[in-house]
Amino acid sequence: MAVIEVTKNNFEEEVLRSEIPVLVDFNAGWCGPCRSMRPMLDELAENNGKYKIVSVDIDEEDELVEEYEVASIPCLVVFKNGKETDRSIGLIPKDSIAALMED
């Protein structure tokens, strides 16, 4: 499964009501570390069936940024059963991204 682009219109369906855990990547096109991390997220999304990964463009999604109090990117937020369970700020290696989803 590829990384899914999510907006405020489908955030509830794709993230909050998802039956599997979701990793939300808050990012922007001008953010170098975000772009650097994207190929790792693509790879992780393609190669597992246990969770999904979605991307939120913070320049387009003010409401989601406000609601989830994102104040620094890259920002990865883990959702399980509609609730935030973990969060990571900044560029991290692929192994650490995978580890976020493993407990």
Which residues here bind another protein, judged by CB under 8 A?
28, 30-33, 35-37, 40, 58-59, 65, 69-73, 75, 87, 89-95
- Identity of the residue numbered 82: G
Query: Among residues 22 and 31, whose Cβ is nearest to another protein?
Result: 31
CA distance 71 to 21: 23
CA angle in degrees (0–180, nearest 5) for 66-69-72 = 110
> In a 3-state reduction of DSSP, which class is residue 85?
strand
Is 31 an annotated catalytic residue?
yes
The least CB distance from residue 12 to another protein, in Å, is: 23
The least CB distance from residue 19 to another protein, in Å, is: 28
Q: What are phi and psi of 75, to 5 degrees?
A: -130, 115
Query: Among residues 49 and 72, whose Cβ is nearest to another protein?
Result: 72
Query: Among residues 46 and 69, whose Cβ is nearest to another protein?
Result: 69
Is 75 an annotated catalytic residue?
no
Provide the CB-side half-sphere exposure for 13 (13 A, CA). 7
User: Which residue of the set 34, 41, 44, 54 is catalytic?
Assistant: 34
The residues that are catalytic are 31, 34
